[in-house]
Amino acid sequence: MRRLVGGLLLAAALTGCASSRSWSYTPEPRGAIDPLANVSVIVLPFEDRRLNENSNFIMIYLVPLVPFGWATYHTPEGVQRHVNSGLWQFRPADDFARAVAQELENARIFRETFVGNRASDADYVLLGEIASTKYEGKIISYGLSAYGPLLWLFGFPASTTSNELTLTLKLAKTPSTPPIWTHTIRGEASAVSWIYAIQPDFTYDQLLKQGLREAITSLAATARTLK
């Protein structure tokens, strides 16, 4: 009985129901150079095109002979509990837009880049479409039900998680005109956690930053042609 209780306590500790995560993005330092294009760009709130589907079968790990419990979230910010963390303070449409605007402003691609809601406030608009922020996670019980977590004490992996990001950026004269530049960011990060080394299961800020490096290089080439 004590082993059963111990296993359940370990599993409860892993899921981190009291440990929240918040969006935190640090842009590259501002460049001390002249802008590539003497135009202003407004970044509008991004359009959310993600699937509105979330499924949670984490507690299935308690069923004997079932090797793990799992969860798949397409809108993970609306979920109270994730595999390695609790509630997320994350608003993709706004958070992504602000991060992109900060990176472009500091990269000195345009004279001015800022976030707003009125396309008429700038010479050009940058639009974003969020296709995926898919989250997948598993708690591994090795088919031993509530006793499975006891194996974690002996170095067996406790969980696996993955984040997927797919985001398309478009630069246009107005929201209704054809884009003059388009770039799609795709990234994925996965991790294996041990009870002694729980890995972050929120990495969308890192995925965006990685993807923006290539996006900024591509956009810079287009910016040089703008007037």
pLDDT tens for each residue of 106-117: 999 999 999 999
pLDDT at res. 57: 96
pLDDT at res. 13: 54
| CATH level 3 topology of 2-25+36-223 | Rossmann fold (3.40.50)
Picking from 125, 94, 8, 16, the residue whose alpha carbon sits closest to that of residue 59 is: 8
pLDDT at res. 12: 56
Domain residue extents for the chain: 2-25+36-223
For residue 111, count CB atoms less than 10 angstroms from its CB and return exposed for 0-12, middle for 13-18, buried for 19 or more: middle
**Residue pair 159/194 in contact by the 8 Å Cβ criterion:** no
pLDDT at res. 3: 47
pLDDT tens per residue across span 94-104: 999 999 999 99
> Could you say which residues of the chain have pLDDT below 70?
1-18
pLDDT tens per residue across span 48-75: 999 999 999 999 999 999 999 999 999 9
pLDDT at res. 31: 85
pLDDT at res. 14: 58
pTM of the entire predicted model: 0.90
Would you tell me how many other CB atoms lie within 10 Å of the CB of residue 4? 12
pLDDT at res. 161: 98
